[in-house]
Amino acid sequence: MSLLYDIFIGPFAQMADSPDFLAQVLWEGFVSGILYALIALGFVLIFKASGVFNFAQGIMVVFAALTLVGLYQKGVPALLALVLTIAVMGLLALAVERFIMRPLVNQPHVILLMATIGLTYFLVGLGELVFGGEPKQMITTELGLPSGSTEIPFGQQGVVILQHIDIAAAVIALVMVAGLAFFFNRTRIGRALRAVADDHQAALSVGISLHQIWAIVWFASGIVALATGIMWGARSDVSFALEIIALRALPVLILGGFTSVPGAIVGGLIVGIGEKLGEIYWGPLLGGGIESWLAYMIALIFLLFRPQGLFGERIIERV
Amino acid sequence: MTRSTGDVILNVENVSLRFGGVKAVTDISFDIRKGEIRAIIGPNGAGKTSMLNVINGVYHPQKGTITFKGRVRKAMQPYQAAKSGIARTFQNVALFKGMSTLDNIMSGRYLRMRSNFLWQLFYLGPARDEEIAHRRKVEEIIDFLEIQHVRKVPVGKLPYGLQKRVELGRALAMEPELLLLDEPMAGMNLEEKEDMSRYILDVNHEFGTTIALIEHDMGVVMDLSDRVVVLDYGRKIADGTPSEVKANHAVLAAYLGVAHQEKSR
């Protein structure tokens, strides 16, 4: 009886008790959800256009952030470093297209997956070689990102604390997602991206060059990786350990669907908020620490009942 | 039905294509003249689709040359063929199944849209004007093919006959100089075949598009085409007007079989 109370009533009573704390938890969940969504977005872009699960997405986040900070530490002004980092991500995209995608076109997907694992180790090595392996401080203020926090009164005497950097992260992420969704649906290149994703042969027959499209998606996901790197870097620091957060994006992808930009956002929010709520209110029942596996659990349930995710393209098959 | 047809637009000379030990196409030569409907026929496995794939740049023949618009082509990629003015449809419809009819046909405008990547990114100025202009052209094609009612439907959900029509629409959107149709009427009922025949004739007459057509339905071929080339086991066995080809012994033998000598044993 008391167990049922702890599961179904206790947590909600707690929430009603201190609404300001609940709001704080929801905000934190929202922010980490947005960041998950950003990582998932990087995966979605590449998966959509080439059917490749890019294992290297995590390290691309680290590599982008590392390049930015590393250049700054070598004396390059912050904004110039940002521009140079974007250029580096562009070069990386061209190189990936030329040396990985092009020679491996028409190979089974698992081979491309292996290639991206190879890319991961290559980038780890390159990053350490050029910028060193020790953790670095993200240059948030130098880039003009806000710091500090605002306290908003909430309820009777409660307050909710909003970190300015979190607000900035949310705004940047939303702008990026809106832009990408629009780009995909309304423009010539967006249409070509979807065309390539759908049918290589047919895409070629209308004159779409696969090489060009792949370079563009890898570049776009490099930019997303850079944004993610700056935001995550600002919350902890820039180190190779960040690579692991990429795996956090897996449940997000399963929830949202591997091919959907809005799906990445909604999936990210569900995972981010769900994790925080679960950890705070239901965690103590299981001795805590459920934040690290709850998302995978939800993903597993999704796989059983809706494998294409919430927003994934319906698998249309004629028999 | 002889129409005035112009100069040779595509010339295939002594083309041979092998896959390992399998000879798909052996020493084939023929030409296509500007403005005509040229049929390629033959029994299953005769090498018709291989021939189309060679013209379209999907396969690179080991021997022979292809001259398109007076320029001899080296091995080229399909997207380069598209750039030079060749559009095609596929035997087993190859559409972008998740995209709407409208978007599928819009994708045919890809090469005709020129605006810069950065403009595209923000959907500003030139990019938007361009999108609107091309949209108008696409709507014309949609009207022409009478598929207004499925404009917004993902093509994966359309019946086969309509998918074939959308695919033709996408090829037309490219405003090609040479249109390759790989069995545009396969799997259609009589009514759909008649519709499709009408569209093909209209495209040829109204837009003056040169068409190379692979088709199994002999009635259709005889009615539509100006000249016919017949393949069998990867070799050319006849070439001429429909009536010439119909009277050719080799063609009859390929299609109906010859009386076997053993029977008299």
What pLDDT does B119 receive? 56
CA–CA gap between residue B204 and residue B208 (Å, rounded): 5
Q: Which of A219, A215, A218, A210 is nearest to A192 (CA)?
A: A210
E strand segments, B71-206: 71-73, 86-88, 178-182
| Tokens of residue A264, six digits | 């990445």
**Residue B62 zone, left/alpha/beta (φ > 0; ψ -120 to 50; rest):** alpha
What pLDDT does A87 receive? 93
CATH class of this structure's domain B1-85+176-265: alpha beta
- Among B94, B106, B173, select the one facing A201 at the smallest CB separation: B94
Contact A277, A25 (CB under 8 A): yes
| Tokens of residue A105, six digits | 């076109």
Residue A222 has pLDDT above 70, yes or no: yes
| Tokens of residue B70, six digits | 């007076």
Q: By CB neighbour count within 10 A (0-12 exposed, 13-18 middle, 19+ buried), where does A20 fall? A: middle
pTM (two decimals): 0.77
Q: Which of A4, A18, A44, A26 is nearest to A224 (CA)?
A: A44
A210/B157 Cβ within 8 A: no
The answer to whether residue A187 neighbours chain B at the CB level (below 8 Å) is yes
Range with top average pLDDT, A178-182, A267-271, A303-307? A267-271
pLDDT along chain B (265 residues), means of 10: 67 87 86 90 85 87 86 80 88 83 86 63 65 85 88 86 89 90 86 90 89 85 88 86 84 71 49
The residue ranking higher by pLDDT, A245 or A80, is A80
Residue A86 has pLDDT above 90, yes or no: yes
DSSP-derived secondary structure letter, B261: G
Domain parsing of chain B, residue ranges: 1-85+176-265, 96-174
The answer to whether residue A206 neighbours chain B at the CB level (below 8 Å) is yes
B127/A187 Cβ within 8 A: yes
CA–CA gap between residue A76 and residue B65 (Å, rounded): 56
**Percent of residues, chain A, with pLDDT higher than 90:** 11
- Among B79, B115, B130, select the one facing A207 at the smallest CB separation: B79
CA–CA gap between residue A193 and residue A48 (Å, rounded): 8
Residue A316 has pLDDT above 60, yes or no: no
B117/A188 Cβ within 8 A: no
A189/B107 Cβ within 8 A: no
* Chain B neighbors of A189, CB-CB under 8 A: 117, 120
A194/B103 Cβ within 8 A: yes
| C-alpha dihedral, A39 to A41 to A45 to A50, nearest 10° | 60
What pLDDT does B117 receive? 55
What pLDDT does B2 receive? 45
Residues 6+ apart with CB under 8 A from A132: A70
Query: How many other β-carbons are positioned within 10 Å of the β-carbon of residue B38?
Result: 23
Query: How many other β-carbons are positioned within 10 Å of the β-carbon of residue A319?
Result: 2
Q: Region A110-119: what's the mean pLDDT? A: 90
CA–CA gap between residue B231 and residue A255 (Å, rounded): 53
Q: Residue B237 to residues B14, B24, B38, B215, B233: CA-CA distances in angstroms?
A: 14, 15, 16, 16, 9
A186/B110 Cβ within 8 A: no
- Among A209, A216, A316, select the one facing B79 at the smallest CB separation: A209
**B214 has which bridge partners?**
B40, B182
ipTM of the complex: 0.75
A210/B107 Cβ within 8 A: no
What digits encode the pLDDT tens for the residues A182-196?
777 777 788 888 888
CA–CA gap between residue A97 and residue B226 (Å, rounded): 45
A191/B107 Cβ within 8 A: yes
DSSP three-state, residue B30: strand
The residue ranking higher by pLDDT, B229 or A144, is B229
CA–CA gap between residue B137 and residue B133 (Å, rounded): 7
What pLDDT does A91 receive? 94
- Among A199, A207, A216, select the one facing B82 at the smallest CB separation: A207
DSSP-derived secondary structure letter, B42: -
What DSSP string runs through A185-251? Answer: HHSHHHHHHHHHHH-HHHHHHTT--HHHHHHHHHHHHHHHHHHHHHHHHHHS-BSGGGGGHHHHHHH
Residue A173 has pLDDT above 60, yes or no: yes
Q: Average pLDDT over chain A, rounded to whole? A: 83
Interface of A with B in 147-186 (CB under 8 A): 179, 182-183, 186
In angstroms, the separation between the Cα of residue A300 and the nearest Cα of chain B is 26
DSSP three-state, residue B87: strand
Contact A229, A65 (CB under 8 A): yes
B56/A207 Cβ within 8 A: no
* Chain A neighbors of B115, CB-CB under 8 A: 188
For B121, the closest chain A residue by CA position comes to A183
Contact B63, B15 (CB under 8 A): yes
Contact A261, A174 (CB under 8 A): no
CA–CA gap between residue B202 and residue B73 (Å, rounded): 30
- Among B121, B154, B157, select the one facing A183 at the smallest CB separation: B121
- Among A179, A189, A208, select the one facing B117 at the smallest CB separation: A189
Contact A260, A37 (CB under 8 A): no
What pLDDT does B264 receive? 45
In angstroms, the separation between the Cα of residue B81 and the nearest Cα of chain A is 7
Domain A2-305 architecture: Orthogonal Bundle (1.10)
B170/A194 Cβ within 8 A: no
CA–CA gap between residue A147 and residue B12 (Å, rounded): 69
| Tokens of residue B210, six digits | 């040169």
Contact A98, A269 (CB under 8 A): no
Beta-carbon contacts below 8 Å between A and B: 101
Residue A90 has pLDDT above 90, yes or no: yes
DSSP-derived secondary structure letter, B94: -
* Chain A neighbors of B157, CB-CB under 8 A: 316
Q: What is the CA radius of gyration of chain A?
A: 21
Q: Which of A179, A217, A174, A173 is nearest to A195 (CA)?
A: A217
Q: Residue B200 to residues A98, A216, B15, B180, B208: CA-CA distances in angstroms?
A: 40, 37, 27, 11, 11
In angstroms, the separation between the Cα of residue B222 and the nearest Cα of chain A is 28
Domain parsing of chain A, residue ranges: 2-305
What digits encode the pLDDT tens for the residues A4-14?
777 777 777 77
| Tokens of residue A119, six digits | 């890319």
